[in-house]
Amino acid sequence: MNLLHIGDFILALTTSDLRAINNFSPTLRFFYELTNSASAANWLLWLTITGLAILVYKLGFAKKLPLMKSAIIYLFLIVGCLFLTFLAIFLPITEGLMVAALILIIYKIRLNREKKAGTFNKS
């Protein structure tokens, strides 16, 4: 049984009981109700988490790196998002990434405004 089938198996076990569906994280519940498919909901959750993790990394932590080093970092980020997806079945991982992305977007907008206005002080 490979890794993708394990996620489908876990979701299939829990979807047989409506009480378990109510225990899903809000994002997974939304994807499941949208698609009515455990497999599609898993993939959408993984894509959402991966996209948000890349956005948070780029906004908050990314530095200019050579191409190969960047590729390795993104590869590990994508693999790490697989683990986060399993946690996100019942925990609000996606919602936390959304909040982090929103805070970093607001920070970057304010930083750019201060730089344009000339009031940004590096000390």
DSSP readout, the chain? --HHHHHHHHHHHHHTSHHHHHHS-HHHHHHHHHH--HHHHHHHHHHHHHHHHHHHHHHHT-----HHHHHHHHHHHHHHHHHHHHHTTTS-HHHHHHHHHHHHHHHHHHHHHHHHHT-----
Q: Is the pLDDT of residue 123 over 60?
A: no
| Tens digit of each residue's pLDDT (9 = 90 or more) over 64-78 | 889 999 999 999 999
* pTM of the predicted model as reported, rounded to 2 decimal places: 0.77
Q: Is the pLDDT of residue 1 over 50?
A: no
